[in-house]
Amino acid sequence: MMPTEGVDYFYQATGMYDRWDLSGADRFESLREQYYPYGDVITIAYDVTNRKSFENIRTWVRKIRRYNTKARLESVGYKCDLVDQIVVSVAEDHRLAKELGIHNSCRMSNKTGEYNFVTH
C-alpha cells in the first residue's frame, strides 16, 4: 500500500457525503490545517499494535479542536488482524474516547476487512 501523498479525495457511492483522507505525516500539517475547519465528522486512525500512535490521538484531538469545535470525532484502530501484536486494549480505547469526547470508536483491518464497533 502507498502512503497518502498529502490528501486523497473520495465521493462516497451513496452520494451523500464527501470524504477526504489526509496523510498523518508531519510535513503535511499545513495542508491538514486547511481541512480541519470543514469536517462534519473527523475520523482519527491509529495502529492498535503501536502504543505511540494511540497516545497521539490526544495530540490529534487538540489540533483538530483548535480549528473545529463542532465536528463529530471518531477513532479507528487499524491492524486488528495482528492479534498477537495488539498493545491497546478495548477498555483503554473506551476510556480515552470518553475523556476526549470521541463519539465512537471501532477496530478495523485493511487486510481482512474485519470490523468491530464500539460505541461510547
Ligand X SMILES: Nc1nc2c(ncn2[C@@H]2O[C@H](COP(=O)(O)OP(=O)(O)OP(=O)(O)O)[C@@H](O)[C@H]2O)c(=O)[nH]1
79 binds, among ligand X, Mg ion, none (CB under 5 to 8 A by kind): ligand X
Regarding 87 and contact with ligand X (CB under 6 A), the answer is no
Whichever of 4 and 89 has its CB closer to Mg ion, that residue is 4
Do 46 and 57 form a contact (C-beta atoms < 8 A)? yes
Regarding 4 and contact with Mg ion (CB under 5 A), the answer is yes
Compute the 3-state secondary structure of the chain and give helix, strand, coil in percent, each to the nearest 5: 35, 30, 35
Report d(CA 64, CA 54) in Å as an integer.
Answer: 16
Number of residues that bind ligand X (CB under 6 A): 14
Q: Which three cell numbers stand for residue 39?
A: 469536517
Restricted to residues 54-83, the positions that interact with ligand X (CB under 6 A) are: 78-79, 81-82
